[in-house]
Amino acid sequence: MGILTPQQIRQFADEGYLVVPGLVPESAVAAGNAAIDRLLAERPPPEGHVGSYALVEKPPESRPALLALLTGTPAYAIAEQLTADGGLTGPTHVQVALTYPPYRHRPGSGHVDGLNKLTQDGRVTSFTLLVGVLLSDQTADNMGNVHVWPGSHLAVAAYARDNGIDELLARSAETAHPPIETTHRTQVRGRPGDVVFAHYLLAHNIGGNTSPIIRRTVYMRLKRLGHAEHWRQALTDPFFEYDGVRAATARP
C-alpha cells in the first residue's frame, strides 16, 4: 500500500501538484539548512541582495544532506507511487532556491521549465516530476512561496495535442511561458519539512517575500526511465509517465 491516499493522488491529477506535510524530520531539515549555510559561506549573494538567488549543486552527491531530503525520506517513495516503482532516474543536480526580503513581486504568469531550452537534437530539456522540500516557514502568502496555476498541466498538454508540439515550443521560445489561459493561481504554503510534488507541465513562478526571513526551498527533478525517447508523448499526454496516477484515477 502506498503512502498517498487515492484522494491525494486525484488531487495531484486534477491540480498538478500536491503538498505532503511533515515528510522530512526536524533533524534532516536542520542538516539541510546547515548545508545551505555552508554553501552561502562559499558563494554568497552580492551585498544587499534582495529577490531570488539560486545555487545549483552537481552532482547532488556532493551535498549529501540536501540529496537525503529526497532519498533519505518517504519523498522518493511517493514520487515512485505517482509514477512507477523502480522506474525513476535522477536527480542530476540539487537546486537551492532562496528569496531574500524585502521583495515585493507578483508574477504575471507561470512558466514551464525548459520549454525554451532545446538540446542539440531538438529535444526539450524536460523531466517528469519536480520535488520541492521546504526548509523555511511558508505558512502564509508572500513568504517567498512559489506561485502555481492549478490545472495548467492539463491545459499545456491539451494545447500541445490541439496545436502540435512545435507550435507550443515556438510560442514558448522566449520566456518558457506556455500560450494558455492561466487565471486562477495560488501560493503554495507549508512548514519546514513539508514536500511539494509538482507535475513537469504545471505552470509556476517565483513569488515575492515581504516576511522577515529568507525563503529556502530545495528542488530536485526526476525523470521516468526512457524519458529521452518518449518526451513528446509526455508533452501531449500529461499522465503518460504516471502509472500510479492512471491506476488510481482510472485514466487510460
Ranges of the chain with pLDDT below 70: 1, 251-252
66 contacts 129 by C-beta, under 8 angstroms: no
pTM for the model stands at 0.96
Domains in the chain and their CATH numbers? Answer: 6-245 (2.60.120.620)
pLDDT, position 252:
60
Whose cell is 525520506? That residue is: 73
pLDDT, position 139:
98
pLDDT, position 122:
76
List, for residues 9-26, the tens digit of each pLDDT value: 999 999 999 999 999 999
110 contacts 209 by C-beta, under 8 angstroms: no
pLDDT, position 153:
97
Q: Count other Cβ atoms within 10 Å, centred on residue 150.
A: 17
- Exposure string of 28-57, with b = 16+ CB inside 10 Å and e = fewer, is bbebbbebbeebeeeeebeeeeebbbebeb
pLDDT, position 1:
52
Nearest to 185 by CA among 139, 155, 156, 151: 151
